[in-house]
Chains A and B, each alone.
Chain A
Amino acid sequence: MKTETMSTPTGTLSLEVAGISKRFATATVVDNVSFSVAPGEIFGLIGPNGAGKTTIIRMIMDIIQPDSGTIKVLGDSLGEKTKDRIGYLPEERGLYKKLSVIQSIEYIASLKGIPQQTALERARQLLQRVDLLPHQNKKTEELSRGMSQLVQFMITIIHEPELIILDEPFANLDPVNTELLKEIIFELKAGGKSVILSTHRMNEIEELCDRVFMINKGQGVLYGELAEIKSHYRRNSVFLEYEGELAELPGVTRRNDRPGSTELVLDEGTTPQIILEKLLETGITVNRYEVSTPPLNDIFLQVVGEEE
């Protein structure tokens, strides 16, 4: 596995996963996986479907036990107490169909040790935050898919957990609700909570994550700070949106032209800075200029390709 940052977070970690493995029947679903999550960071657990993400999360939640390795949540070994300090939105999600929105939230909150009155107050505040308060007495079976997903997200954070694990949180959400959810995730981070986002749609969470752990076929393939990973896998190229006639430039080995824009692939000795200066000298209007970084998807494919 490639580790971009050698320094792991220090102090009391929100989550510490050390060398866990899990076998089902003949298949090794999780193979010697280690990573850690610091307080106040958004952490991406990413990989394709069937890579072992959900199995790792279920082991963190103490729903299933690892065959080997250890997991510590907020400095403690797994147990009843740690369950109350984690908020978990499973990928396979559902609600009691016959209960009302407010009853559903209150029941799960009480299972997390929240007194009834506190649970009701917080539930109303949270529902207000996502504009679902008018629906509080509806049965959950009457909600739209997006609405019920928001309710499940409320259930995940009602007990103000320090570690929040969201498995495919944006599936089924429309763009408006996706933005709303991202906003709340940033608020949680600002409040010092750790958030783990698990997804196979890697590009979707790029803008959110501080660090990522990339997994494929049960094994970690990439682990570290997102910015460093991106810079490491950066192609030496720039992206340009312009108006005018673009002449041949020295130092550019190849051009991928599109209407009104182009990608310029640079040679070894040329930096984006040099090209920008030359571009301005040519007199064209530059509307957008950026060092192009490959999306996480491409990085994943590259890493997996290299490993195989």
Chain B
Amino acid sequence: MNKILTIFKHEFITTITRKGFIIGAIIFPLIGLAAIGIYQLAQSAGDSGDEAEISKIGYIDSPGSFQEYTGDYGLIELMPYAEPTDATEALLDGDIKEYFIIPSDYLETGLVIRFHTEKELEMSGDTYGAIRNFLEQNLLKGQTSQEVIDRVKNPLNVQNIRLDETGAPATDQGGFGAFVLPMIFGFLLISTIASSSGYLLQGLGEEKENRVMEILLSSVSTRQLLVGKVLGLGTAGLVQMVFWLLSSLLIVRLGSSTVGGFFETIQVPDNVILLGIVYYILGYFFFAVIMAGLGAIAATAKEGTQLSVILILPAILPFYIGIIFLRDHPDHVIGTILTLFPVTAPMSIFVRMGLSEISAWEIAVSIILLIAGIIGGLWLAAKAFRAFLLMYGKAPRLGEIFRILWRA
């Protein structure tokens, strides 16, 4: 136990004092701060410059029934012209920004022809809204009450209420907010796995390359070395995560009120936090022991990193399946399979948590399988350590790996 603690301390301190680790820890908060800075700069530039300026848009009313409601579309004002030549002249003189023609057969076709001088990807939303609003107002004028006209412009304003088994509003209302938090857990897990396993593979590679490995193995058992390393690097990864979380909270507070307001709408049911933490920890250990085994087999740190991708890809898989498929079929059997299989379990839980209810038995079996996976992974990785750590140079072929593991 003492030796595990010694290795843990050594790995933890060596990792958090690495240049890469320190840069990694501060780079995300810095990017966040820079993004907010740029956003606010753009905001203030926009506020001061464009506020007073009103864009004028001309139009030619061929049917003759689009005379009213020409003002008051925010920063857009519409001006009627009698002939297209007048409008073109005004456009070229810079009196108006653009103009459009409402043809005489507009009622049958809905066709409107727009003329402008500036190159653009597509029409701006504000202009589209203003023209559409102007057309609607004139079309419905006199046909119905102003109240109905206003409602036609904004007919759907939904409030969703999820009921529980008793028929009362449920505490967990789901929705986008409830989906976001588990996803954050999921991405924290993947980032921790990716960064910590990177350090694990790098460290193992170095110890193989600088030949310290044999001294280590003549002092401690493979199991002690493995557990000490996984715990030390995991804790270092956790420290990085906590630092990111705290700094992002700070940045959100500094940031605009809209972003802050969005985070305030997120409801955090206790079970999400609890399951999140349980799967984060179990998930990390599962991936870390398997990564360690891969690190033992790989000849160099670089090769180990290439191998680790094989593991990271299926780990993220449930995220894509969730977005593409499970969102519409939250109770499909694929969800259950992904939840039970240890490699995909953590991410599946995080994805499904936000989409639907996960039954208790699925969670129980998935946790048991994940723990079994950790124990089995530890056993296999210890074998791989014994068998491969003293093999220098060339990485073994797949067949060799199985044969050597079998005999180890």
Which residues of A approach B to under 8 Å, CB–CB?
25, 58, 61-64, 80, 83-84, 86, 88, 90, 92-98, 107-108, 110-113, 152, 155
Contact = CB atoms under 8 A, between A and B. Distances in A.
Given A93-B211, A97-B206, 5 more contacts: A80-B220, A80-B221, A92-B214, A113-B3, A152-B215
A108 B215 contact: yes
A95 B209 CA distance: 10
Contact of A94 (B2, B6, B10, B210): B210
A111 B7 contact: yes
Contacts of A58: 214, 390
User: In the complex, which range does the number of interface residues on chain B fall in?
Assistant: 20 to 34
B4 to A, nearest CB: 10
B219 interface: yes
Contacts of B14: 98
A163 to B, nearest CB: 12
7 contacts: A63-B217, A63-B390, A88-B218, A93-B215, A95-B210, A95-B212, A111-B7
A152 B217 CA distance: 15
Instruction: Find the residue from B14, B216, B217, B386 having the highest chain A CB count within 10 A.
Output: B217
A110 to B, nearest CB: 5
B390 A111 contact: no
Interface in B174-213: 206, 210-212
B214 A107 contact: no
A90 B215 contact: yes
Contacts of A84: 219
B6 A110 contact: yes
Contacts of B403: 25
Nearest to A88: B218
Contacts of B206: 96-97
Contact of A155 (B6, B215, B386): B215
A93 B6 CA distance: 21
B18 to A, nearest CB: 9
B289 to A, nearest CB: 20
Contacts of B214: 58, 63, 88, 90, 92-93
B263 interface: no
Given A58-B390, A63-B217, A96 B7 contact: no
B219 A108 contact: yes
Given A86-B218, A88-B218, A111 B6 contact: yes
Given A64-B386, A111-B7, A113-B2, A92 B392 contact: yes
Shortest beta-carbon contacts, A-B, top 10: A94-B211, A94-B210, A111-B219, A90-B214, A61-B218, A88-B218, A92-B211, A63-B217, A110-B6, A94-B212
A233 to B, nearest CB: 35
A61 B3 CA distance: 17
Interface string B352-389: 00000000000000000000000000000000001000
